[in-house]
A = this chain, B = another copy of it.
Amino acid sequence: MTPSRDVEPAKPVQLDKRRMILDAAVVAFATRGFHACRVSDIADEANVAYGLVYHYFRSKDEVLDTLFLERWNVLLEVIAEIDAQPLPAREKLHAIASFIIESYRHDPDLMKVIIVEVTRAANSFGRTHLAKIREAYALIADIVGKAQADGTFRSAVTPTFAALAFYGAIEQVLTGWIFDTLPQGEPEFDQAKAFIVETICGGLDAAAAR
């Protein structure tokens, strides 16, 4: 590149302090919970001075905001992409469950923070993000609605309701893993994807014709 310095600084640490703070916040929030976590915990975890957090973020809340929005927007995009593909509704739902569960597998701390501190905390904090969260429900409901229209799904329940149940099942499973109420590991992850879809789409009833 240039005469005076390396092609790549190649330092794994440093570089983007803002990013470091965000990553540290994930660990800090996941470990102690948002409320119990002090701003100094984030700074310590990031090996950065207390005040620097306030150089990059207006408040402790804004740090969590940023983490949530970064990730949730990805989720919304992915759901839209999945929906755009020419797949049967059941497979679309499987793909969505799959993406969320893979997100957890890849970065459990981040998902823990998003679910526990935002999604499931619609009081206190998540209130700000209710609309954003609802967008995801709406996208899922849309998938169900279209499948009902073309006869793939029956119309016994409203799309809104089906979306709620579907997302609710995913959230309960993740919550189970997060708090060690449910065994987790590679096989469990794949099993969960299948079970969520099977429960919501297949149902429990042993109809005569099955």
A residues lining the B interface (CB < 8 Å)? 33, 35-36, 89-90, 116-117, 120-124, 127, 130, 134, 144, 147, 151-154, 156-158, 160-162, 164-165, 167-173, 175-176, 178-179, 181-182, 192, 195-196, 198-210
Question: B127 near A205 (CB under 8 angstroms)?
Answer: no
Chain B residue at smallest Cβ distance from A161: B195
Question: B172 near A164 (CB under 8 angstroms)?
Answer: yes
Chain B residue at smallest Cβ distance from A93: B204
* Seed contacts A154-B206, A164-B172; 17 additional CB < 8 Å A-B pairs: A33-B123, A33-B124, A117-B123, A147-B204, A156-B202, A161-B199, A162-B199, A162-B204, A168-B168, A168-B170, A168-B172, A200-B203, A201-B203, A201-B205, A203-B204, A207-B207, A209-B209
Chain B residue at smallest Cβ distance from A90: B205
Whole-angstrom distance between the alpha carbons of A167 and B175 in the complex? 12
Chain B nearest CB, measured from A163 CB (Å): 9
- Give the number of copies in the complex: 2
Provide the main secondary structure of the chain A interface.
helix
Question: B175 near A122 (CB under 8 angstroms)?
Answer: yes
Question: B33 near A165 (CB under 8 angstroms)?
Answer: no
Q: Which of A89, A134, A198 is most buried by chain B, counting CB atoms within 10 A of its CB?
A: A198
Question: A122 near B205 (CB under 8 angstroms)?
Answer: no
Partner of A198, one of B121, B156, B170: B156
Contacts of A123 on B, CB cut-off 8 Å? 33, 116-117
Question: A165 near B200 (CB under 8 angstroms)?
Answer: yes
Question: A158 near B207 (CB under 8 angstroms)?
Answer: no
Partner of A151, one of B169, B173, B203, B206: B206
Whole-angstrom distance between the alpha carbons of A152 and B90 in the complex? 24
Question: B120 near A206 (CB under 8 angstroms)?
Answer: no
Chain B nearest CB, measured from A183 CB (Å): 10
Known: A36-B124, A203-B203, A209-B207. A173 touches B164 (CB 8 A): yes
Contacts of A195 on B, CB cut-off 8 Å? 157-158, 161
Contacts of A35 on B, CB cut-off 8 Å? 35, 124
